[in-house]
Amino acid sequence: MIDKLSLKQKAAAIGVELDDTALARFDEYAAFLVDYNQNVNLTAITEPEDIVVKHFTDSLSLLPVIDPAQNAKIADVGAGAGFPSVPLLIARPDLKITMVDSSNKRVTFLNLLLEKLELTQSGSQAIHMRAEEAGASPKYREKFDFAVARAVANLRELSEYCIPLVKVGGTFASMKGAEIEEELAGAKNAIGTLGGKTERVEKFTLPNGDGRSVVVIKKISQTQTKYPRPSAKIAKKPLI
């Protein structure tokens, strides 16, 4: 399905080494995604090289940025078709990743995918839940070392969905496009209100020339219990 050597080289260029087992899993992932996508709309990106660059390499670029410890717990908010969580898990099967998505169809796909790739052994799973519900649930609230999200929403609103999931001392990493400065400035107060502090912004360019940013936000204090609010309120009255 995909050019495994191409993926191996692109991953190595960003500091991620992929063994033969990982490469075989990426190949199986791509094939399963394209096949499943014929019946359930998961992605508009279905060409093999586009999958390698725009999905796999893009997702893997997060790994050297956050550098998770062994067995780290990660929440992927708005996991969709599994980006960035499943590529991270393929590269690092020790990670325990909880993929949060509000679509039961996507959650079904993700859990089938994890079984197919034999990646459930660490306890990784997809759950059918809205992000604000997960953030308010004692089972998930402030239980994760990292929360990650890939182009889900504006950073101001996204912070309210993600920061409550992160334990104090943990990190929220938001994957964004090249131009992030205005969005970051607009989210500054929300990030602080929720107990976070922007640590840095990592910028890089994908092999096809597309610019990317990762906003790294450290959780420095507990999130007040009134957050996250219901999604309608987050949209209507964003934290400013």
Q: What average pLDDT does range 161-181 have in this prediction?
A: 97
- Per DSSP, the residues of 60-97 read HTHHHHH-PPTT-EEEEET-TTTTTHHHHHHH-TT-EE
Q: Report whether pLDDT(122) > 90.
A: no
For the entire predicted model, the pTM comes to 0.97
Q: What are the distances in angstroms from CA 117 to CA 23, 29, 90, 209, 225? A: 11, 8, 8, 30, 38
For position 29, which CATH number holds?
A: 3.40.50.150
Q: Which of 35, 95, 89, 25 is nearest to 59 (CA)?
A: 89
Percent of the chain residues topping a pLDDT of 90: 98
pLDDT in tens, 176-210: 999 999 999 999 999 999 999 999 999 999 999 99
pLDDT in tens, 143-160: 999 999 997 789 999 999
Confidence of residue 121 (pLDDT cuts 50, 70, 90): confident
Q: What average pLDDT does range 111-139 have in this prediction?
A: 96
Domain that holds residue 203: 4-236
Per the structure, the count of domains in the chain is 1
